């Protein structure tokens, strides 16, 4: 017999309350996007000031990604043990510390150390935010709300591009002016003489806001149920979906958790192993499409085409706007069209755009308009497919008791692929040029066509517990 619960209040759920929770959690995605993209505007300035070679340039950029690897690796275990909310608060603290450290770093090794700390926050947030959103979301809205996390990432990326362009413009206009007094000299140092400090330190305010707002959100009801606090879990679910639906969800959650061992070995049982392999493949494929080479090194690619820095930063703003706009399309369609059609169409578009970009550089026709057009096309197709769908898929398909640790492995693989792409790009660009690099990226994502056609199940509209039973073979797909 299922357990009998007292009727929680309110009887009807609140879409507004649910939306506020998702908005606050998704701010972690905004900071994730900002922190990863802001280095693109500062990179050339850092290379000039510290006379960085290709290897050291790659390390300054990729040091944050090493932190991401560590953060993703420990985030799952920490969130399974201490809860999703506490670990999100930890990520907000790390975001704040990295902003201060980057703004004040006197030399590239300390700058890299500060970026590594920020990477810890990004790695943790990149794993826990979609996990938290998925665990509080009704099944019919889950895809859209986890896509909203990707939307927040794109907003963060765009904000970094706009901030970089604005600060670079301010520094150029103010160059050569004399400042008198302590604070004016500090301002001159951070915003004019070494404007990269202002770029990298501009995340302090949103990081602080994220920390304060997280104090208002509740814990994940599924994590609370795993801990035995079913009354609190039911109360949270009732505020989101209403008491009747909350009761029904609680019965399903409780029964599913009772069948789970919670041991790490469960990851390698047939159903969970299949889910893990699929999640890792999709996560790695998204990164090997070269998205973060464009996000981190966009100005360098524009420079290869003859752009000056100011114009290159302006071009990146256009790319950021495209990324945001087409992520909205993904949010709109992911729970109606489904995951598989979006991934199939988007991957085809990314593949074709990469080949066109390679052709532009091979033929020497990488003029401003065609270059921005095909880079925009690449980002548009990425934003409806390889951007949000890996996060959605990995947040849906793992058992509750080990969901954090399983997502850690998938997220860790994502950041490992990201690190490889970002560290290798300056070296490959110098050795091979952008045309060959874009061909490599196109080849790397070609297996996604087979994955969508033969292996990927459709997950839209199914509860997390139902998906778990499907992967374990206890329910038909």
pLDDT tens per residue, range 3-59: 444 444 456 768 888 889 989 998 988 988 888 788 877 888 888 888 888 778 778
At residue 1 the predicted structure's pLDDT band, cuts being 50, 70 and 90, is very low
Q: What is the pLDDT of residue 113?
A: 92
| pLDDT beyond 70 at 191 | yes
What phi and psi, each to the nearest 5 degrees, are found at residue 386?
-70, -10
Domain count, the chain: 1
Q: Does residue 10 sit within a domain?
A: no
Q: Does residue 376 sit within a domain?
A: yes
* 345-388 pLDDT per residue, tens: 999 999 999 999 898 888 876 566 788 888 889 989 998 888 88
Q: What is the pLDDT of residue 6?
A: 46
Q: Does residue 1 sit within a domain?
A: no
pTM metric for this prediction = 0.74
Q: Does residue 260 sit within a domain?
A: yes
Please spell the DSSP secondary structure of 154-202, one letter per residue.
HHHHHHHHHHHHHHHHHHHHHTT----SHHHHHHHIIIIITHHHHHHHT
Average pLDDT score over residue span 400-422: 79
The Cα–Cα gap between 304 and 240 comes to 51
* 140-151 pLDDT per residue, tens: 777 777 777 778
The Cα–Cα gap between 334 and 338 comes to 5
The Cα–Cα gap between 208 and 226 comes to 30
Domain range holding 37?
15-471
What residues have CB less than 8 Å from 431, skipping those under 6 apart?
Answer: none
What residues have CB less than 8 Å from 473, skipping those under 6 apart?
Answer: 270, 271
Give the range among 86-95, 243-252, 402-411 with minimum mean pLDDT: 402-411
Handedness of CA 56, 30, 132, 85 (dihedral sign): positive
The Cα–Cα gap between 52 and 58 comes to 9
Q: What is the pLDDT of residue 5?
A: 44
Average pLDDT score over residue span 219-244: 88
Give the range among 209-213, 227-231, 431-435, 472-476 with minimum mean pLDDT: 472-476
Q: What is the pLDDT of residue 215?
A: 93
Q: What is the pLDDT of residue 85?
A: 93
The Cα–Cα gap between 295 and 169 comes to 20
Per the DSSP assignment, residues forming a β-bridge with 242 are 12
The Cα–Cα gap between 223 and 210 comes to 21
| pLDDT beyond 50 at 2 | no
Q: What is the pLDDT of residue 253?
A: 80
> What are 230's two structure tokens?
């079913």
* 388-410 pLDDT per residue, tens: 888 888 877 777 667 777 777 88
Q: Does residue 72 sit within a domain?
A: yes
> What are 47's two structure tokens?
């290379």
CATH number of the domain to which 295 belongs? 1.20.1250.20
* 270-321 pLDDT per residue, tens: 667 778 888 888 889 888 988 878 776 766 666 655 555 445 555 667 777 8
Per the DSSP assignment, residues forming a β-bridge with 95 are none
Q: What is the pLDDT of residue 175?
A: 75
């Amino acid at each position: 017999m299922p357990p009998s619960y007292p009727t929680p209040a309110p009887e009807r759920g609140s879409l507004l309350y649910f939306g506020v929770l998702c908005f606050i959690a998704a701010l972690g995605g905004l900071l994730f996007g900002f922190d990863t993209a802001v280095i693109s505007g500062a990179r050339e300035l850092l290379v000039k000031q510290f006379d960085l070679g290709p290897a050291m340039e790659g390390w300054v950029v990729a040091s944050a990604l090493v932190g991401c690897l560590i953060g993703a690796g420990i985030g799952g275990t920490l969130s399974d043990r201490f809860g999703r909310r506490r670990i999100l608060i930890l990520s907000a603290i790390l975001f704040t510390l990295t902003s201060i450290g980057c703004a004040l770093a006197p030399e590239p090794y300390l700058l890299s150390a500060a970026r590594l700390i920020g990477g810890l926050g990004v790695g943790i947030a990149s794993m826990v935010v979609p996990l938290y959103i998925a665990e509080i979301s009704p099944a019919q809205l889950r895809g859209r709300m986890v896509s909203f996390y990707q939307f927040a990432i794109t907003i963060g990326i765009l904000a970094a591009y706009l901030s970089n362009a604005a600060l670079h413009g301010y520094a150029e206009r103010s160059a050569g002016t004399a400042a008198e007094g302590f604070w004016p000299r500090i301002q001159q140092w951070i915003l004019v003489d070494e404007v990269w400090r202002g770029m990298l330190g501009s995340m302090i305010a949103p990081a602080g806001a994220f920390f304060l707002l997280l104090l208002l959100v509740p814990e994940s009801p599924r994590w609370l149920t795993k801990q035995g606090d079913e009354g609190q879990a039911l109360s949270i679910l009732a505020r989101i979906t209403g008491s009747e639906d909350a009761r029904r969800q609680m019965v399903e959650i409780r029964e599913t958790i009772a069948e789970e061992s919670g041991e790490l070995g469960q990851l390698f049982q047939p159903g969970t192993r299949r889910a893990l392999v699929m999640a890792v493949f999709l996560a790695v494929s998204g990164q090997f499409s070269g998205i973060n080479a464009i996000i981190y090194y966009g100005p360098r690619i524009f420079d290869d085409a003859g752009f000056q820095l100011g114009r290159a930063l302006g071009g990146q703003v256009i790319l950021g706007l495209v990324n945001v706009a087409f992520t909205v399309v993904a949010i709109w369609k992911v729970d109606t069209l489904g995951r598989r059609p979006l991934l199939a169409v988007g991957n085809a578009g990314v593949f074709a755009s990469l080949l066109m970009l390679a052709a532009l550089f091979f033929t020497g026709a990488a003029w401003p308009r065609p270059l921005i057009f095909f880079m925009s096309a690449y980002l548009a197709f990425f934003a409806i497919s390889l951007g949000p769908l890996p996060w959605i898929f990995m947040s849906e398909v793992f058992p509750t008791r080990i969901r954090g640790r399983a997502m850690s492995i998938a997220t860790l693989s994502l950041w490992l692929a990201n690190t490889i792409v970002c560290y290798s790009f300056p070296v490959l660009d110098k050795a091979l040029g952008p045309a060959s690099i874009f061909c490599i990226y196109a080849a790397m994502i070609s297996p996604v066509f087979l994955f969508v056609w033969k292996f990927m199940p459709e997950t839209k509209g199914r509860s997390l517990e139902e998906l778990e039973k499907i992967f374990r073979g206890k329910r038909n797909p």
